Amino acid sequence: MIDRLSLRFRVFLFFAFLVCVEIAAVAAPLIGVYYYGDDINRLIQFGAGAIFVMSLCVMWAWVMFDENMVRPIERIARDARAAAFGKASTVRTDSARYLGLLAPAARDVVGALTEARAETDEAVRHAVAEAARRRRQLETILRDLDQGMLICTLDHKILLYNRKAIEILHVTGEIGLGRSLFTLVTAQPFRHALDRLTNRFKDGRHRSHPDGLGALVVCATADGGRTLQGRVSLMLDEGETAPAGYVVSFEDVTTELAELVKRDRMLRHAAEAMRRPITNLRAAVEMLADPTMDAESRQAFEAVLAKESTALAAALDRFDRERRDVSAQAWPMSDMFSNTVWTAVIRRRTGPQNFTAEIVGQPVWVHCDSVTVVELLDVLMNKIAGHAPTRTFSLTATPKNGKTYLDMSWPGPIVPMTVLESWLHEPLDPSVGGVTGREVLERHETDFWCEADGEGRARLRLPLSGPRQAHRGRAPVIDARPEFYDFDLLGRIDPERIDDTPLRNLDYVVFDTETTGLEPSKGDRMISLAGVRIVNGRVLRGEVFATHINPRMRIPPASTRIHKITDAMVTDAPHIEEVLPRFRAFAADSVLIAHNAAFDMRFLTLQQEACKVRFDNPVLDTVLLAAHLDGQADSLTLDTLADRFAIEIPPEDRHTALGDSLATAELFLRLVDMLEVAGVRTLREAVAASTTAGAIRRKQAAY
C-alpha cells in the first residue's frame, strides 16, 4: 500500500517517524525524573539511554537511506550511462521501489533512447546502403585482383591492403592497417619513386607526362626472399594541391627474374665460349702458310675459311645483340630527367667517404631503369672517392646522337679499366635483386669508360638511351577524378609525444592469455596467447594473433575445466621462445590493453629475457578504467561488464584467449566514450586515472 503514496510524502513520513522517535527519546528521561525525583545518577542514566536510542535511530536512518536510495541511484546512474555510451537497453529497478517515479522515469528515458537509437540506426542504414554497396563492389574488385594492392600515407603507413597482398608478401601477422610499409619491403625503391613523382607534381609535368603520377618500381621483401615488381601512383588531396598518399600495385616476379637471370648468364657464357674457338679459327687461317700446298688450293682454302669465320663472327655478334635486347626488354625502364637520377645518387650516399657532388648544366631526358642505375652510380662514386682520392664531383648530362651521356668528373687521375672491371663484378645492394654492375650495363645495352677531362681532371662517361617519347606539348587535362577511397587514417597526424595523444588516435593491441594456473611467480606458464588490433576506433577482427603454446609441463585438470585446453592440444604447439618474438612484432608501436593487465603482463615479462625481447609498450587495464568510472563497489569481471554494456560473448569463446581479447576490445571502445565525458582524453590522463583504483592495484601487485 505504501507504494501508492508519492515519494515526497513517503520521505515526509520517514522524517516524521524520526522526529517522533527523538521526541520519545528526549521525553523518556524527563518523565523518569518526574516520577523518580531529581537524582543526578538517574538523570545521567536516562540521558545516556536517550543518546543511545537517538544514535541507533540515526544509524538506522543512514543504513536505510544507503540501501534504499543511494545504492539504487548509483545503480540506475551506471545503467543509464551504459545505455548512453554502450548498447544496453534496460535499467535495473528491482532495488529502487522506494524511489517513487525515479526508477520508472529512468526506465522510460532509456527505453526512449533505445527507440531513438533504433530509428537513427535505421535511418543511417538506409543512408549508407548505397555506399555499402559500392564498398562491397570495391572489396570484390580488390579481392579478385591478381595483383597485390596497398594504399599508404606519405609517411608510409598502410591504409588498405587486399588478400592478394597477403599471399604475395607471405605474411599474416605483420601486415596491418596503420603499420609501416617498410616492415614488409625494402624502402629505397619506394623512396626513389616517390621523390620522382613528387618532383614531377611540383613541376606540373604530371599533366603531360605519359605516366602521369605513376612510376614503375622493383623491390625486394624485407627478408630479401622475394622480388616484387609493380607500380607506385601518387594520390592527391581533395583540392589536388598536394600529395596525400600513394597506391602500390605489385606482383611477385621472383621466379620470372630468376629464370631471366639464369637464361641471360647462360647465353652470355655460351657467347663467350664460342668466341674463343672462332678467334682460334681465324688465327689458324692466318697460319695456314704450308709451303707444300700449291698456291691455287691454298688461296681457295684460305678464302673459304676466312669467309666462314667472318660469317660466324657476324652471326655471333648478332646473337649477342639480340640476347641483350631480350634481357633489357624484360626490365622496367622509363623516361626521366637526368637531374632526377643525379639527385637520387646524391641522396643515396651509402658509402663512408666524405665528399660533395654538384649537378652542373641543364637537365635532359634519359631512358633507363633508374633504381639499378642509381645504385651503380652510387657505388662507383664511393669507389672513386676512395681510389682517386677526391672530395668533389661534378655531375652532368649531355644528349648526343640519340644517346644521353651521364658524366661524373673529378679532379684527379683516371681510374684504370682493370680496376673498373673489378668493381663491375661485385653485387649491388640486395634491394635491387643483387645484380652486378656489369649486368646493369648489359641490361641497358651499354658500357662506360674513364677518360681525361681537361688538365688534371678525369671523368667517367656512361651512355644511356635517349627518351622514347617526344616530351613536347601538353596532353589533354582530365578534370574529373573518380573517388576510390575515403579513409580517416589518411588525415591523421601522429603527435610527437604518445602521452599527449588522444585515446581515439592511438593504435592498440588488446590481448589475453590462458595459463596453467594463477601464480606466474611460482612457475605457472602460458598455454595460449591471443591479441586483436584496434586502429582508428575500430576492432580489426581480420588482424589477430592467436596461438597455443607448449608450456613444457602438464596442465592441471582444474585449469583445463576453465579454458578447455588439454595437454594433447599443446603437444605440437610452438614453444614460448618462438611465440613471444612474433607477438612482440605484432604489438610493435601499439598500446597494450588487457582485462586485469597486471596478471597477463606478468606472464609476458617473466619470459622476456629467455626470449630476447622486451615489452616496453604503454599498458592500459580495462579493470582499472572501469573502476575509475564506476567505483570499486560492484563486480568488475569481464562477464559483468560485458553484460552491463550489452557485449555478447559466445559461450564457446568465453575463457579462450581470442574470445576474451575481442570482448575486452569492445569493452574498451565503450569505456573510451565514457572516459572522454569524464575528462580523460589522452593516454597520460588514462594512465593517471588508472592509479586511482588503489585497492585493485594493491591486489594486482601480488602477481
Higher-pLDDT residue of 42 and 619 is: 619
- 8 Å CB contact between 596 and 700: yes
Q: Is the Cβ–Cβ distance between 427 and 434 less than 8 Å?
A: yes
pLDDT of 489 above 70: no
Per-residue CA distances from 595 to 385, 430, 654 (Å): 59, 44, 13
Residue 473 has pLDDT above 50, yes or no: no
Per-position b or e across 417-447, b if 16+ CB within 10 A of its CB: eeebeebbeeebbebbbebebbbbbbbbebe
| pTM across the whole model | 0.60
Query: What is the pLDDT, as a whole number, of residue 24?
Result: 72
Q: Are 229 and 433 in contact (CB under 8 A)?
A: no
Identify the pLDDT of residue 47.
Answer: 65
Q: Residues 302-337: pLDDT tens digits?
A: 676 666 677 667 667 666 666 666 555 556 778 888
Please name which of 443, 423, 426 lies closest in space to residue 373, comparing C-alpha atoms: 443
pLDDT at 175: 80
**C-alpha cell belonging to residue 386:** 676512395
With bands split at pLDDT 50, 70 and 90, how would you rate the model's confidence at 565? very high
The region of weakest confidence among 55-64, 429-438, 449-458, 647-656 is: 55-64
pLDDT band at 606 (very low <50, low <70, confident <90, very high): very high
Give the DSSP per-residue string, 138-160.
HHHHHHH-SSEEEEEETT-BEEE
pLDDT value for 484: 30
Picking from 31-40, 153-162, 371-380, 547-556, which range would have the lowest pLDDT averaged per residue? 31-40
How far apart are alpha carbons 292 and 297 in whole angstroms? Answer: 11
Sheet strands side by side (includes 619-621) = 538-548, 526-535, 508-515, 591-594, 619-621
Condensed to tens digits (0 to 9), the pLDDT of residues 88-118 reads 666 666 656 666 556 666 666 666 666 666 6
**Predicted local confidence at residue 406, as pLDDT:** 94
Model confidence at 362, in pLDDT bands (50, 70, 90)? Answer: confident
Q: What pLDDT, on the 0 to 100 scale, is given for residue 481? A: 31
Q: State which of 5-19, 124-138, 656-670 shows the largest mean pLDDT.
A: 656-670
| Cell, residue 75 | 545503480
Q: Which stretch of 65-69, 153-157, 644-648 has the lowest confidence by average pLDDT?
A: 65-69
% of the chain surpassing 90 pLDDT: 25
3-class secondary-structure state, position 543: strand
Q: Nearest to residue 375, comparing CAs of 495, 219, 540?
A: 219
Average pLDDT over residues 682-703: 72
- Lowest-confidence range among 150-159, 405-414, 459-468, 633-642? 633-642
CB atoms within 10 A of CB 643: 15
Mean pLDDT of 279-295: 64
